[in-house]
Chain A
Amino acid sequence: MVDQLNLEKKGIPTVTFATTELVGLAKSTAFSMGVADMAFVVVPHPMGGIPLPEITQKANDAYPLMVKAAIDWKPTVTMPAPKPVYPAATFSFKGSQGDVNDLFFDKGWSLGLPLNPPTTEKVAAMLKGTTRKPDEVLGQLKPRMSSLTVELVAVAGVMAGCKPEHMPVLIAIAEAMLDPKANWVGVATATGSVGALIVVNGPIAKELGIASGQGAATRGHYANASIGYAVNLIAMVPGGSKPPQAKKTTLGSPMDFVAWIFAENEAKLPKGWTTYAEDRGFKKTDSVVTLMGIWPGINVVDLWSASPEEHSTWFSRSVSPLNSVGGPCFSVQLTQPHLIGLGPEHLDMYVKAGFTKDQIAKAIWEKARIPFSSWAKGCPEQKVFREKFGEVTPDTLVPITLKPEYLQIVIAGGAGQHSHFFAPFLNASPVSKIITK
């Protein structure tokens, strides 16, 4: 859709075929770029996966509408006039807390989980957790392109049950969502079951009780739960990542309710090792959040390996199928950072054998391959893939990423023989932001 908008900007008119199921997403994308109405021709869903006679019939049916859209179309809607972004509108409501929850759900301001009513008093109290001004616009959050103010972050924080001291973390996460490198619009609107992974480093984790060890990303950690919930409220309410129009996920996942959030288990880092945030250019004393749009993470259980050789073999075999979303189908993923959430007990095995962090990544990378024949012949980028990497045979083993450096390591969780793997959504790079109070 963005391609057509870029063409229109260049003075070239376009007509876009979109299906009944996805035209809403196309329209919201256009709106987010300042186009309230565009020349669409709506085709009954689906277009993919149907036999040739059926798709030909759909083309025949759509053709007259296409011609009309090409030479006899005019926009009927215009973009709304600008309004002040601060202060956010307030309103009075009489009812119980349950009634407020129902109201917010009806208005599309609720994920469907219980929420705390964002009263003016509670929002004011939440704003005391930051020195940032409430009217500061952090950016235009996609896909809706709302002006995300510090005040709106506080509103989401109140709704999710955050404490005022969580505000600096929420603001840093919001800034990461707004960073183009995060490809948040892709994460927020993808048909895949993608969501947000957030890794916290530095002293803030201990200060706020953001869990880092045993079961760090499970239930029972107030800061993790409330911050993870607030992230999704920000994404959906001001951000507009709302099903079914904008958020087009085929199934979705629990990440759509509470983001996958944990602090790195820095206490388990071997002597002399750097933290994940340090690897990304920060100081050990910095408090940092790193946000990455991910496909659902994989738990690699390994109770049996007795050596790095065995573990890296099993780990790489377990995560290689994930390459099926990359490789020649989405070759961009080959150059995106992927995250290995190495469990402390697996880490010990490598450390005892004298491995450095880079050597662990390399040991896994060298074995994380999948035969070229695994992908459907219709993978759209196969030709590009061949041009980039030379001729390949069906038996050619394709690496999960182009270089081992694209496998990054964070020490995740506590006791237990489990490590995790987080593959990035397309073009979604990890984005780190310093947490400032």
Chain B
Amino acid sequence: MKRGRLTVLFLIVVGLLVTPLFASAADVVQEWKLVTPEGVVNIAPMQLAPRLTTLEGKTVVLQWNGKTNGNNFLNPIAEMLTQQFKGIKIIKAWELAPELKTISQSQINSQKIADKIASWKPDLVIASQAD
């Protein structure tokens, strides 16, 4: 009986000694000195255009990127603006220049769209992403 207990105790001790040898390196707790992988974002701030204080008498361009329902969303917006603000002029870009009814997809195309809209000298542009 006593010999049996000693055998069990011996096996437990051996087990405790051997277990760490079988533990994978991944499970070993250690002190790491790690490099942050995301880097730094340094972007020069861009100045936004001066804001309006009223829409009365202003020229407003509505820009639709061609995604479904964008026009159906902007049409009632146009109606409500016309009703609320005296002398407001609404330009639906997609009617005046159908080629603007598109996702610009590149900075060059985007610049062209912006140039075209700017040529109408708007006071404000309201755009619908329409996703």
The verdict on A208 contacting chain B, using a C-beta distance below 8 Å, is: no
B125 lies within 8 A of A4 (CB) = yes
Q: What is the chain B residue whose CB lies nearest that of A92?
A: B33
A16 contacts B114, C-beta separation under 8 Å? no
A11 to chain B, nearest CB (A): 5
Q: Which of B34, B43, B54 contacts A119 (CB 8 A)?
A: B34
Q: For chain A residues 1-27, which have a beta carbon within 8 Å of chain B?
A: 1-19, 21-22, 26
Q: Which residues of B contact A427 (CB under 8 A)?
A: 105-106, 109
Contact A63 B80 (CB under 8 A): yes
Pairwise interchain contact B125-A12, C-beta atoms closer than 8 A: yes
> Is A128 among interface residues, defined by CB-CB distance under 8 A?
no
Among residues of A, the one whose C-beta sits closest to the C-beta of B75 is A59
Number of chain A residues close to chain B: CB under 8 A: 109
Contact (A66, B77) CB under 8 Å given A88-B39, A96-B26:
yes
Whether, in the assembled complex, A282 has its beta carbon less than 8 Å from a beta carbon of chain B, the answer is no
Complex CA–CA separation, A378 to B68 (angstroms): 7
Find out whether the CB atom of B51 lies under 8 angstroms from the CB atom of A71: yes
**With a CB–CB cut-off of 8 A, which chain A residues contact B63?**
3-4
Residues of A within 8 A of B50 (CB): 11, 13
Report the count of interface residues on B (CB-CB < 8 A).
72
- A219 contacts chain B at the CB level, 8 A cutoff: no
Contact B31 A148, beta carbon cutoff 8 Å: no
Contact A2 B110 (CB under 8 A): yes
Q: Is A383 an interface residue (CB 8 A)?
A: yes
The interface-forming segment of A138-146, A254-262, A358-366 is A138-146
Cα-based distance from A368 to B75 in the complex (angstroms): 39
The one of A50, A85, A238, A383 that contacts B98, using a Cβ cutoff of 8 Å: A383
Residues 187-225 of A at the B interface (beta carbon under 8 Å): 191
Q: Does A321 contact B (CB under 8 A)?
A: no
**Secondary structure at chain A's binding surface: helix, strand, loop or mixed?**
mixed
- Which of A73-81, A397-405, A408-416 participates in binding chain B? A73-81
Inside 8 A of B44's CB, which chain A residues have their CB? 34, 79
B27 A96 Cβ-Cβ under 8 A: yes
A67 touches B55 (CB 8 A): yes
Residues of A within 8 A of B55 (CB): 67, 70-71
| Whole-angstrom CA separation of A332 from B104 in the bound complex | 10
In the complex the two chains form, is A119's CB within 8 Å of B35's CB? yes
> Residue A380 at the B interface, CB < 8 A?
yes
* Contact, CB under 8 Å: A140 / B43: yes
Question: Once the chains bind, are A3 and B36 in contact (CB under 8 Å)?
Answer: no
**What are the residues of chain B within 8 A of A47 when measuring CB–CB?**
67-70, 73, 128-131
A168 interface hit (Cβ, 8 Å): no
For the complex formed, measure the closest distance between the CB of A109 and the CB atoms of chain B, giving whole angstroms: 5
B73 touches A147 (CB 8 A): no
- Judge whether B73 and A59 touch: CB under 8 Å: yes
Residue B46 at the chain A interface, CB threshold 8 Å:
yes
Chain A 93-126 residues near chain B, CB threshold 8 A: 93-100, 104, 108-109, 117-121, 123
Closest residue to B31 on the A side, CB-wise?
A: A94
CA distance in complex: A180, B73 (Å): 33
- The reply to whether B34 and A90 form a contact with Cβ atoms under 8 Å apart is yes
- With A7-B125, A46-B131, A93-B32 as contacts: A380 and B66 at CB distance below 8 Å: yes
Whether the pair A88, B37 counts as a contact (CB closer than 8 A) is yes
The distance in angstroms between the C-alpha atoms of A146 and B106, with both chains bound, is 20
* Bound complex: CA A208 to CA B118 (Å): 52
Any chain B CB within 8 A of the CB of A55? yes
Distance between Cα atoms of A103 and B3 in the complex (Å): 49
Q: Which of A151-159, A283-291, A304-312, A340-348 contacts B (4 or more CB under 8 A)?
A: A151-159
A interface residue numbers (CB < 8 A to B): 1-19, 21-22, 26, 31-36, 38-39, 43, 45-50, 52, 55-56, 58-60, 62-63, 66-67, 70-71, 73-75, 78-80, 82-85, 88-100, 104, 108-109, 117-121, 123, 140, 144-149, 151-152, 155-156, 159, 180, 183, 186, 191, 233, 237-238, 330, 332, 378, 380-381, 383-384, 426-427
A-B contact pairs, 16 of them (CB 8 A): A2-B104, A7-B114, A8-B49, A10-B118, A12-B49, A12-B117, A13-B51, A18-B129, A55-B69, A63-B77, A79-B45, A104-B37, A146-B38, A146-B40, A180-B107, A383-B101
